[in-house]
């Protein structure tokens, strides 16, 4: 392998190791399930690896990665709708081991939020996760989702409204949630 290729490979590995935790969390919110999240991140990074020569030298490789992940999520969702609308029991959330009442309640909240997210249409879920977890601007979210800013606003607003309408979650949100 030439020096250039070696350097690019090392650069990619460094990028991947550094971004892995954050990508896993985002994927988890998108998919609601541990293994699905791992699959999504792995598939995303495989595509990034293929295009790394171009991506690695781009001004904002993160934007490319987000776009790939959202595309993959949207594509998979089109094919396997039910998988995402019905969170699986092995999510690890429902069976959270809780040793105090507060932890139990906290796990319940998380579970409620993930279930609520899973019930959102995928575009609304993507908009909510990118805007409020990734903390992207509307423009950045639109770039990641490959749509207009107006569509992002609409999807995010609908998503938030639906989340607030869910019993339990609405109370958490309205009263400041658990911190």
Partner 1 sequence: MSADREKHDMTQTDIALLLADAADEVEIGIAPVQAVIRGGRRRRARRWAVAAATTMVLAGSTGATLAVTGLPGDGQQDRGTSVAAEARHVDRPHLTELAGGTDQGQRWRVELSVWDAPRDKAEVTRQLEAMRRYGIDADALPERSHLVGKTSHFASLYYGDRGGRVLLFDTAQEWNRMTGKDIEFGALPLTKGGADRADRLVVGQVAATARQVECTWEGGTGSVVRPRAAAGSPVKWFVCLGPAGKANKSAWVMD
Asked if 154 interacts with partner 1 (CB under 8 A), we say no
Q: Does 93 sit near partner 1 (CB under 8 A)? A: yes
Residue 50, phi then psi, degrees to nearest 5:
-60, -40
Find out whether 136 and 93 touch, Cβ atoms under 8 Å.
no
Region binding partner 1 by CB under 8 A among candidate stretches 56-64, 97-105, 110-118, 144-152: 110-118
Q: Which residues of 140-166 are buried (b: 16+ CB within 10 A; e: fewer)?
A: bbbbbbebeeebbeebbebbbebbeeb
Residue 95 lies near partner 1 (rule: CB under 8 A): no
How far apart, in Å, are the Cα atoms of 50 and each of 46, 61, 65, 70, 71? 6, 13, 12, 17, 16
Q: Which is nearer to partner 1, 150 or 171 (CB)?
A: 171
* Contacts to partner 1 by CB under 8 A: 1-2, 5, 9, 12-13, 16-17, 20-21, 24-29, 34, 37-38, 42-43, 45-47, 49-50, 53, 92-93, 96, 106, 109-110, 113-114, 117, 128-129, 132-133, 135, 160, 163-164, 169, 172-174, 176-179
């Amino acid at each position: 392998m030439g020096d250039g290729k070696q350097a690019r490979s090392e650069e990619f590995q460094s990028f991947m190791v550094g971004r892995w935790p954050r990508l896993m969390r985002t994927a988890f919110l998108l998919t609601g399930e541990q293994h699905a999240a791992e699959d999504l991140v792995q598939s995303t990074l495989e595509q990034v690896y293929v295009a790394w020569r171009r991506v690695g030298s781009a001004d904002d490789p993160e934007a490319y990665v987000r776009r790939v992940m959202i595309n993959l999520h949207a594509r998979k969702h089109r094919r396997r709708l039910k998988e995402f609308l019905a969170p699986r029991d092995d999510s690890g959330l429902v069976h959270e081991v809780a040793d105090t009442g507060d932890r139990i309640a906290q796990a319940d909240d998380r579970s409620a939020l993930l279930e609520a997210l899973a019930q959102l249409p995928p575009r609304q879920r993507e908009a909510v996760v990118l805007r409020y977890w990734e903390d992207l601007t509307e423009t950045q979210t639109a770039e990641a989702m490959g749509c207009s800013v107006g569509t992002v606003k609409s999807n995010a607003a609908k998503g938030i409204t639906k989340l607030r309408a869910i019993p339990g979650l609405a109370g958490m949100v309205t009263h400041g949630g658990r911190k």
